[in-house]
Structure 1
Amino acid sequence: MKTVSKLLTVLAGAVMALSFSVGTYVSASTQSYGPDWSKYQGSYGKYGTSKDQFVIAQVGGTYGGYYVDQPTYRTQVASAIAAGKRAHTYIWYQVGGSTSLANAALSRFLPRVQTPKGSIVALDYEAGASSSKQANTNAILYGMNRIKAAGYTPVLYSGKYYLAEHTYYNQINSAYPTSLWLAGYPMRGIQTLAPFRYFPSMDGVALWQFTDNYGTTGLDGSVDLTGITHKGYDGSYKTATGKVVVKPKTSTSSIKAGQKANSTPKSALKAGMTVKVNLSAKKWATGQAMPSFVKGHTYTIKQVSGNRVLLSGVMSWANKSDVELLGVKTPVTVSYVTNYAQRGVFKPRYTVNVRTGMGTNYRITGHIGYGAQVLYVHVYIKGGLVWAQYHSYSGLRYVAMGKMGGQSYGTRTVY
């Protein structure tokens, strides 16, 4: 998530001491922790510690008028609900001081939010600010107003010094008190608890992102100081088996998928399902100590035997009690796709359209003809077509490589 914010508080000396009592916000016993996710955490995300209670996933973002959808967002929301976590949303909001860009970004991403009404939709404003503080402030307020009007809880993510340099933050805090998600990393190395003695004092902080090494390298971790991550949820409960179930106030397709996975008994686990290894797991089903790099990660079940599941990738047996189901749908094997690798070179046999998304309804931005080639990074199946995703100078683009069971559009050189 972070670029500028990582520079904010690398040195503890650059961070102001805690100037308020944490109890002023919420007692230590009710503070909650959680990570934020983008595509770098994969389709099902990952956690920093076993105490995590919420997740904030990126639905997409805009970079000065160029838009990127996060392909991992929907499954991340579903997997968070399946794991009994409160799921929330954030948008990369590089609109500078332009309310027209802000309008386009919110019009694109708000309809795609899969977390419940009332949940957090945060604007990640940490890059691309214009030279006008007032214009930047207006663009942020415009976005927060749109989020509120859509029925969600508006939150602003940024760093203390970035806001001071580029905005009139007092106007934002006046309109939306205690709606700031503040980034500041006073300590390096792996962190699992917020070091409150180094809190970067600032008005209106609801969430503090205190590390980008939350339990593991490269994972952002935040602490909820005010209970704001409970927005959109009517509490939670534990089942007889100890499974946590959250109660979203409204539903979406991702929430329904997560609830279905959460309610599926472990006796129903079967090959092809996706599971996460619990951080509390200690040993493999065969008795050997389980290495830490396995815990918290997701795997596909390759085989089931009694109370054990064989995990693909690591090819080791885990106890069913040590895994958590994240997806109830088993993958569909389509033989004609086996020749498509996740990375390779596509050489069209005739001219194909380049589009902004996977579907013929997406905007055409150009063409690739015979004799050219595309170095693709991922392959997806959607709408009866096999789509290649690749990086262009303007961002991610997509071309159709082949039809479902039909004639190929070109040849592939597989890495």
Structure 2
Amino acid sequence: MPKIAGVDVSAYQPSSLTKYHNSGAKYVIIKATEGTWYTSPVASAQLKSAHQNHMYVHAYHYANFGSSVSRAKAEAKYFVKFAKKIGISKKRWLWCDWEQQGNNVNDGKNASTKAIIAFMSEVKSAGYHAGLYSGASLLRNNINLSAIVKKFGDCVWVASYATMGRIDNPNFGYFPSMDGVAIWQFTDNWRGLNVDGNVMLIDLHESKASVKPSVKAETKKATQTSSEHKISGTAYAPLIHNDPKWKIRLRDGDGHWTSQYIPTNSKWKVFAEKTIKGEKCYKLGTDKQWASAKYLKLL
């Protein structure tokens, strides 16, 4: 699996991207537009600097359309028009940055997803690769991600930070595993440069990138064949509970309790381990299947 470093920039960052390139960034995702009213005044200069530094250039649009299909289409057309104007190659990706701020997320997953798909379809019909950016929590709880991945392939650019503040390199113990992830934004202060740091998990600069297997599937396959993580064990109930039928509740990768449980004395395998909210936890399957080590006994 490739792990290619890159940054994303807006008007808050300088026009010259040389320092990012010198620090190891191979590509940049430039903020181009927002709504149907804003175009970045430095986007063209940032693109020129990126090309001078031999960096691949993609672009993103900060969405304001919420769950409105008509507004989504209008914003996508506005985005595409500007991307063409500044010279974004059609070999590259145009991303829909759909966040809670600026969008109504209260109309339900299906309505929000329908609008996002409308936006991405407009981008795709214009000849570009279409992608979706958002935070891990929003992608899990407010968007029907499987519908988007089914239609557009591995197209997800997900934001999820192990901690706030400077992070130089991604720690894959905190990877937000989900379907269709192509890029992981793992920090908002990469190498102390006050710029978002990203790692590309699928080489989107290859012509066939969009039809590759999902990153989740590749990650799971690699993990399952890794001897250091292939550990069997037996679950047992916390001693504070006397009921032998007590089931152990699981956390998700962000440390939140889920509605999932594992029964006592069940057999399982550990695919990874990390500290969640001060407790050592074992990953038993998906990103929503982490169990506290104090409730588990290794064989």
Q: 1:209: Cα distance to partner?
A: 0.3
Aligned to 1:390: none
Q: In the alignment, is the contact (CA less than 8 A) between 2:39 and 2:82 conserved in 1?
A: no
Displacement after TM superposition at 1:229 (Å) = 4.1
Indicate the SS of the match to 1:228.
coil
Q: Which residue of 2 aligns with 1:168?
A: 144
Q: Which has the higher helix share?
A: 2
Aligned mates of 2:21, 2:168 — CA distance in 1? 7
C-alpha displacement at 1:169, in angstroms?
Answer: 1.6
Cα pair distance change 1:43/1:231, threshold 3 Å: farther
Q: CA deviation at 1:116?
A: 0.5
Q: Which residue of 2 aligns with 1:153?
A: 129
Q: Does 1:38 align with 2:10?
A: yes
Per-residue deviation, residues 172-193 of structure 1 (Å, max 9, x unmatched): 1211221100100013332221
CA distance in 1 between partners of 2:158 and 2:205 (Å) = 14
Partner of 1:374: none
Matched, 1:218 2:218: no
Per the alignment, residue 67 of structure 1 pairs with 37
Please tell me whether Structure 1 or Structure 2 has the larger radius of gyration of its CA atoms. Answer: 1
Distance in 2 separating the partners of 1:36 and 1:227 = 16
CA contact (8 A) 1:120 1:153 kept: yes
Structure 2 counterpart SS, 1:94:
coil
Q: CA deviation at 1:218?
A: 2.8
What letter matches 1:179 in structure 2?
C
SS of 1:43 mapped into structure 2: coil
Deviations 1:274-316 (A, max 9, x none): xxxxxxxxxxxxxxxxxxxxxxxxxxxxxxxxxxxxxxxxxxx
Partner letter of residue 195 of structure 2? L
User: Of residues 21, 24, 31 in structure 2, which corresponds to 1:58?
Assistant: 31
Within 5 Å, give how 1:386-397 maps onto structure 2: none
Structure 2 contact 21–53 (Cα < 8 Å) conserved: no
Q: CA deviation at 1:43?
A: 2.2
For 1:90, the aligned partner's letter is: Y
1:205 maps to 181
- Asked whether the 8 Å contact 2:77–2:123 carries over to 1, the reply is no
Residue 58 of structure 2 aligns to a residue whose secondary structure is strand
- Quote the sequence identity (%): 33
**Amino acid of the residue matched to residue 83 of structure 1?**
N
- Where does the alignment leave 5 or more consecutive residues of structure 1 unmatched? 1-25, 233-415
Q: Which amino acid aligns with 2:3?
A: Q
1:189 & 1:87 partners in 2: Cα distance? 25
SS of the aligned residue for 1:215 comes to coil
| Matching residue's letter, 2:15 | S
The AA in structure 1 aligned to 2:192 is T
1:43 maps to amino acid: S
Distance 1:158 1:192, change over 3 A: same
Q: CA distance change for structure 1 residues 90 and 230 in 2, over 3 Å: closer, same or farther?
A: farther
In structure 1, how many angstroms separate the alpha carbons of the residues matched to 2:37 and 2:140?
27
Residues 1:131 and 2:106 aligned together: yes
Q: Give the whole-Å Cα distance in 2 for the aligned partners of 1:158 and 1:168.
A: 13
1:89 maps to what in 2? Answer: 59
The residue type paired with residue 34 of structure 1 is G
The separation in 1 between residues aligned to 2:207 and 2:12, in whole angstroms, is 26
CA root-mean-square deviation: 2.0
Report the CA distance between 1:102 and its aligned residue.
1.0
The structural deviation recorded for 1:85 is 0.4
Question: What is the one-letter code of the residue matched to 1:131?
Answer: N
Equivalent residues of 2:15, 2:45 under 8 A apart:
yes
Contact 1:156/1:180 (<8 A) preserved: yes
TM-score, normalization by structure 1:
0.46
Offset from partner CA, 1:250-277 (integer Å, 9 cap, x none) = xxxxxxxxxxxxxxxxxxxxxxxxxxxx
SS of 2:47's equivalent in the other structure is: helix
| Structure 2 Cα separation of the partners of residues 140 and 229 of structure 1 | 23
> Against the structure 1 CA distance between its residues 215 and 229, is the aligned structure 2 distance closer, same or farther, given a 3 Å change threshold?
farther
Per the alignment, in what secondary structure is the counterpart of residue 155 of structure 1? strand
SS of 1:47's equivalent in the other structure is: helix
**Cα distance in 2, alignment partners of residues 218 and 42 from structure 1:** 11
How many correspondences in the alignment?
A: 202
Q: Which amino acid in the other structure matches residue 69 of structure 1?
A: T
Name the CA distance, whole Å, in 1 between partners of 2:78 and 2:163.
Answer: 37
Q: Which amino acid aligns with 2:134?
A: S
Aligned-partner SS, 2:176: coil
- Please name the residue that 1:109 is paired with: 79
Rate the CA distance shift 1:231–1:208 in 2: closer, same or farther, 3 A.
Answer: farther
- With normalisation by structure 2, the TM-score equals 0.64
Deviations 1:93-142 (A, max 9, x none): 12100011112111212011121012010000112133222111011101
Offset at 1:155?
0.7
Counterpart of 1:218, as a letter, is: N
1:298-313 equivalences in 2 (<5 Å): none
* 1:87 partner letter: V
* Counterpart-to-counterpart distance in 1, 2:150 and 2:139: 14
Equivalent pair of 1:54/1:229 in contact (CA under 8 Å): no
SS at match of 1:118: coil
